[in-house]
Structure 1
């Protein structure tokens, strides 16, 4: 298509300064008003997120394309990098000193060793974006968001993305141009390797720089924060589907094998939620598998019932006939061909009619996808040449390519990963 034809088909310039969906504002206001009087929005996650989504739609309806453009390209990018810089220099820790009382810019600058002029301009923008409070001339105080930036599981997400993920997205357009705009599908020739100028995969790359892995692990903690776990009734009926039908007569049989389970967070939460499974004569085995270096960093006070077992999930699964083999955020790191190897290695150890494969990942719906799944899908594409999958893509991978049978998909929505239950 020529540049002339594109220009001829472009929208009238007036659309740039017209609210994006002003006609829908009354409906959105009515929907939002239905939440008036609710006092449980701080504890009812689904209702809070429903209200938040209506509020986002209202803001979008009122904003003009010009305002959205400036917010995207300037305000939000300036916020992101200013927040990451603030974490580097201890800005948010300085703000919360002395019970978070308001502080002048000069005082804050003295605490963190920063130029007063530059810091004043950074703080002004962060306040304009609502990330801190402007309490007076050249005076600022923290709010709940900026207080949270003193917690590593929140703060280190900014550093992880700045150092390890943003370069991939920054160079996406250049990489795609060299590939005739074909989607990346491999782990070692993609926007990540291009942007970082490396031939290593992301995890290999992080392994040589301990601070990157520390940022990643903290970020994973923040990613999980406040979300229901896979075994809770609102997500997956683990008691009925998994525990009630286990073979408790064989104490040597594994109940749950967490493959690629990092430091054991999921297993610990599972055992804390179902304490009776770890008690009595019929208690079963719970096995945490990951690479030896990762397991070496698992907490020393890990629940004693959890057995640590070094394992490469591309190799044959050593635990035979477990009640369930569990994969959390493993397959989304790999293209289909690699996933096929991982799943088939597990399949070879499953007991037909008894063992289950439980996959805890996003299942993107055909309509109305959640932003927590769609942003992650794009970062999986640029970091690994992989993807978050739709229901149809899961069926193709698991049933057609791996010879499994999907028994059911429990998809709670609101950005929470689904549980896909499979059998041989």
Structure 2
């Protein structure tokens, strides 16, 4: 391709011929939006994305990636860090005037101007803005936490991933002790979680763990995993018998949802995580036990009906996952205990973008991965741990996680 041809391509719409058909598809999808639920919304969203990409020129896409999105991230993160989004939300759903040096608005106004240009704020006059639903949501810690932790805390790991690959001869990363995060931030701490805690971003990380799962059905919903049919029958009904052990359950979002959905459950509900995480747990039902526990060590709760992990295995490469699984298998009671893993299962083709985005996050931050079904069978059944997959309980195509039910072979 010569320079002139290349420049002509770079400054022309990506696929102008596709526009009429895309608009037609969008008009058809709009008809199903009201009654089609999340699946119809998802299809329309993807078509709208295709339309934008077809209309954009490659030059515009390049400027969006290298100028606009990093600038928007700077504004959004600063708004979280200064408490601006909380203050604006408290002032109500009205236009708000911004002035340099205004008390409690300690943020360069130019950042807000760019966020309005990007559609994240509504500009209502010179130096005057109104929150959109998105920026209203940025006042919620479960939404804003990821901006501080993932972008502000370890975001350089993905931007500099090519440098890491250069040093490792472009090999797929599988060593949890050598990651792009270690290189980008010059740290020798064991992993990104330890690094985030060391810079004071542990609470933001915990909030994000609760935030990214919002809007999804919990694992124990009857449309995903029929607890009343699969877990309760045969469970030890004695009050001191452990029913569900939520391993590395963070602030307890999953176990709290279980308690709320099945208040008459038999036995005990137990939340486990590192002591520093357990110390941050608030507003959790007092009937749910809390135990400081490192899943690399011996599991203290033996013979539970179910050991549960939500989005834990994807944080680690296979060798570490094998050690984690071995600790659980040692504690399981043959013919009784189940291991329930709520995690991503990537299809062979047609992967959902949130799944592939999660895979990029795991690869660039932790040298880990989101797994395909084949990966899961290799990990659980191919490592001599005595575990077998009973069933993969699948959600819809637009759900990120599926429930993998395992037992001792």
Is TM > 0.5 for Structure 1 vs Structure 2?
A: yes
Q: Residues 135-184 of structure 1: CA distance to partner in whole angstroms, max 9, x if unpaired?
A: 12332221111111222222222111233221211321222111111222
Q: For residues 338 and 190 of structure 1, what CA distance do their matches in structure 2 show?
A: 14
Distance 1:93 1:204, change over 3 A: closer
Q: Is the 8 A contact 1:165 1:379 kept in 2?
A: no
Check the 8 A contact 1:94/1:111 in 2, yes or no: no
User: Is the 1:363–1:389 Cα contact (8 Å) retained in structure 2?
Assistant: yes
2:28 to 20, 28, 34: 34
- Tell me, yes or no, if the aligned pair for 1:371 and 1:415 is still in contact at 8 Å: no
Write out aligned runs for 1:58-137 (5 A): 58-96=51-89, 98-106=91-99, 109-112=101-104, 114=106, 118-119=108-109, 121-137=110-126
Distance in structure 2 (CA, Å) of the matches to 1:252 and 1:103? 56
Compute the TM-score of the two structures, normalised by the length of structure 2.
0.91
Q: Give the stretch that moved more between structures: 228-237 or 340-349.
A: 228-237
SS of the equivalent of 2:331 reads: coil
1:341 aligns with 2:323: yes
Structure 1 residues 192, 358: CA separation in 2 closer, same or farther (over 3 Å shift)?
A: same
Task: Note the alpha carbon deviations across 1:168-217, whole angstroms, 9 max, x for none.
Answer: 113212221111112222222111111111111222223333x3101111
CA distance in structure 2 between the partners assigned to 1:350 and 1:139 by the alignment: 60
Counterpart-to-counterpart distance in 2, 1:415 and 1:194 = 33
Q: Report which stretch shifted further, 312-321 or 386-395.
A: 312-321
How far apart, in 1, do the equivalents of 2:193 and 2:220 lie? 28
1:10–1:263 distance in 2 versus 1, CA, 3 Å: farther
Report the TM-score when normalising by structure 1.
Answer: 0.88
Structure 2 unaligned residues grouped into runs of 5+: none
Secondary structure class of the residue paired with 2:269: strand
Name the CA distance, whole Å, in 2 between partners of 1:325 and 1:10: 61
Of residues 89-98 and 66-75 in structure 1, the stretch that sits farther from structure 2 once superposed is: 89-98
- Cα distance between partner residues in 1 of 2:382 and 2:365: 26
Counterpart of 1:233?
Answer: 222
Residues matched between the structures, number:
405
- CA shift for structure 1 position 12: 4.1
Structure 1's 260 and 138: CA in aligned 2 closer, same or farther, altered over 3 A? closer
Q: Does residue 381 in structure 1 map to residue 363 in structure 2?
A: yes
- Residue 15 of structure 2 is matched in structure 1 by 21
Q: Match for residue 319 of structure 1? A: 301
Aligned to 1:421: 405
Larger displacement relative to structure 2 (335-344 or 97-106): 97-106
- Whether the 8 Å CA contact 1:333–1:386 is kept in 2: the answer is yes
Aligned to 1:369: 351
Give 3-state SS (helix, strand or coil) of 1:47's partner: helix
Distance change in 2, residues 1:218/1:194 (3 Å): same
CA contact under 8 A between 2:33 and 2:41: conserved in structure 1?
no
1:102/1:135 contact within 8 Å kept: yes
| Distance apart, 1:54 and its partner CA | 2.0
Distance 2:14 2:227 in 1: 44
Go from structure 1 to structure 2 and tell me whether the alpha carbon gap of 1:12 and 1:311 turns closer, same or farther (over 3 Å shift). same
Which runs of 5 or more structure 1 residues have no equivalent in the other structure? Answer: 1-6, 278-282
Q: Secondary structure at the match of 1:395?
A: helix
CA distance in 1, matches of 2:4, 2:367: 33
User: In 2, distance between residues paired with 1:310 and 1:89?
Assistant: 32
Counterpart of 1:3 in structure 2 is: none
Tell me: CA distance 1:97–1:267, structure 2 relative to 1, closer, same or farther (3 Å). closer
Matching residue of 2:274: 291
Report SS of the residue matched to 1:61: helix
CA distance in 2, matches of 1:221, 1:127: 28
- On the 8 A contact 2:154/2:192 being kept in 1, the answer is no
